[in-house]
Structure formats: structure tokens, C-alpha cells
Structure 1
Amino acid sequence: MQQRDGIRGPVRLILAASVVAALAAQLTACSDDSSPSGTASKAASAASRAASAVSQAASAATEAGDALASATAEAGRKFDEFKSGVDAKDEVKLDGNPGPDSDGRATVKVTAANPTSAAKSYVVQVDFRDASGNLLDTTVVTVDGVPAGGSKDATARSNRSLTGDVKADVARAARH
């Protein structure tokens, strides 16, 4: 799975657009001031397109960062709402690597195993990361009514489309 909405793609696009803009500026500087050439006109057009691409890439990078900040804040709010929770990270497992759903969002099966003698609910924060360990997205899933001494499954789904080599891990989990 390749990263489409993360920050690395827009950064590459910004760098590529910057190179195109620099080359276009050099071509424009090489034209004869008294007789504008087709090459200079094409170079100016390419520079304009490159500047537009840089702007769009910067906007995409900002949106990706804002989406991640929003998801992280939402995860914090959900854990704050889960009163009197006990750390249960060791009671929650993920089933393999995430795969894309029909919308391109990364999904992974979450299993909560309840070692207590009463039914419990779990709140689990799942972080989605790229191959380098960079955080791409985070989500919170609630697993209600996990039977005493039993387990129950749920599905964690990223908030946006993620592609590339996506990994998932349990960032934190609480039992209530």
C-alpha cells in the first residue's frame, strides 16, 4: 500500500515542482529580450504550473497534518470519556497487518480478551504507521460487552484513505 494522503507525497511534489520552476526560470533568462521566443513562453507557462503545483502540494500537506491532529485529539477525548478505565493494553491484540476496505481506508481486526469474572468494555487506540514508523492516522474503537473470561472482536478503520506499506499497533487500551 502506498501513502497517498500523508506528508511524504506532497513533499516530493513540492521538490519536483521547485526543480521545474528553477529550470523554467533558467530557460526564460536565456531568451533574447528583444525577440521573445516560443521557448521562453513555454518556460514561463511551466513556471506558472509549477508554482500552482507547489501551492496545491503545500495545501495537501497542511490538510494531512490537520486531519492527523484532529484524529489524535478525538482519540484523547474518547479516552477522557471512558471513566475509571484500567490499563488493558496487554489484553488487546491486532490480527495481522491492515488491509484496505472498499474506500481505501486501512482496517485491522482488534481482539479484546477479558481475563476478569465480569463482562467488560474496552476502548482501544490503534495507530496506523508507514514502513518508517511515521504516524499516518489514529483511531479509537470501542469493544462493548466482552464476556467474562472470553474475547470479542471489532474492526479499527482509519479515518482517511491510506496506501503504501501500512502497519498498525495498539497505542493504548483501557478496560471498564
Structure 2
Amino acid sequence: MAAHRARRAAGAVLVLVLTTAVAGCGDDEESEPPPSAAESAASRAASAAASLASEGADVVASATAEASRWLEEITEGVDVRQDITLGDPERDGDGRTTVEVTARNTSDSARSFAVQVDFTDQDGNLLDTAVVTVDDVAAGESARATARSNLDLAGEVRAEVARAVRY
């Protein structure tokens, strides 16, 4: 039953993302080009992790699997976990855990990153997962984004890079 709800939630999020993307196409004189397949996959991964994990701890494993599956859709991506650093986890005003994600672009042109951050307890048990994108990082530069847990996490929370893809 939980898996069925998780799939329905993921579908609803995808419909929402697609509806938002279509609604955003207007009469702007300078419209942005449509997102690449990699950008779309990264966006779906972030949305899926947020949607599925928000249903409760029993669905965190499902959120992690969905995030991984969508990150794998970034076919032209390169595994760059070594180019990602995380700050110390903190609690925000809503009780969610946040962590600063820094992506270092070692390529010779501007690239974007999709980073899956796993939030764990002190024993390494998975509590939540989040996917964050760091867009358009110039060659040889670094840029930051913030990963935010989908659930209120109690106790000492650690963060680790589960996957990182440069595209």
C-alpha cells in the first residue's frame, strides 16, 4: 500500500513539474530553451525525493531508490563525488536539517551538478535523502546550494554524499 501511494505521489509530482514547466512558457521576449534531458532528470530526482520522503520514514528507502533511478537517467553525466563537499548539518527554523553542498567544477566548461545527500543517524542508519542541483558552475569554479531534509530529524544527524553527477 505504501509503495502504491509512493508511486502515485511521484506521478503527481511529475505532473506538477510538467504543468509548471508548460505554464512557465509564455510570451517572454527572451524565453529560456527547454531543459536538457539531464536537467529534467535532475529536477525529477529532486522532486521525487522530496515528495516520497515527505510521506514518512517508511518511504525513505523508496525515495532513495527513485532518486537513484532518476540520477541514472543523466546519461551524459560523470560521477564526481570527489568534487563535492558538505558543510555541517544544521536545523532550520522549521526543524528540518540542512547542509551546504559545494560543487567544484574541474572540467573545462560550465557544468551543472545533481547531488544526492543522505541524512543518517550516528550509527549510519538512513533517516532521509534529498537531491539538490547546483546549476551552471563555471569551469574551474565552485558554487553552493543547500540540501534540506524532507522530514523533521531528531538527534544527531550526519550528512553524506550518496551520489553526485556532473552534466
Return the TM-score normalized by structure 2.
0.64
**Aligned partners of 2:113 and 2:166 also within 8 Å:** yes
Q: Which amino acid letter does the alignment assign opposite residue 94 of structure 1?
A: L
Cα distance in structure 2, aligned partners of 1:107 and 1:173? 17
Name the structure 2 match of 1:118.
109
Ranges in structure 2 where 5+ consecutive residues have no aligned partner? 1-54
RMSD (Å) for aligned C-alpha atoms: 1.6
Name the structure 2 match of 1:148.
139
Q: Which amino acid letter does the alignment assign opposite residue 116 of structure 2?
A: Q
Question: What's the CA shift for 1:135?
Answer: 0.7
Cα distance in structure 1, aligned partners of 2:158 and 2:99? 9
Q: How many residues align?
A: 113
**Aligned partners of 1:78 and 1:140 also within 8 Å:** no
**Aligned partners of 1:105 and 1:160 also within 8 Å:** yes
Name the structure 2 match of 1:78.
70
Return the TM-score normalized by structure 1.
0.61
Name the structure 2 match of 1:166.
157
Q: Percent identity?
A: 56
Question: What's the CA shift for 1:64?
Answer: 1.9
Greater helix fraction, Structure 1 or Structure 2? 1
Ranges in structure 1 where 5+ consecutive residues have no aligned partner? 1-61
Name the structure 2 match of 1:26.
none
Q: Describe the SS at the equivalent of 1:158.
A: strand
Q: Which structure: larger Rg?
A: 1
Q: Deviations over 1:28-83 (max 9, x none)?
A: xxxxxxxxxxxxxxxxxxxxxxxxxxxxxxxxxx94212x1232133124303322
Cα distance in structure 1, aligned partners of 2:69 and 2:94? 26
Q: 1:78 to 1:103 in 2, by over 3 A?
A: farther
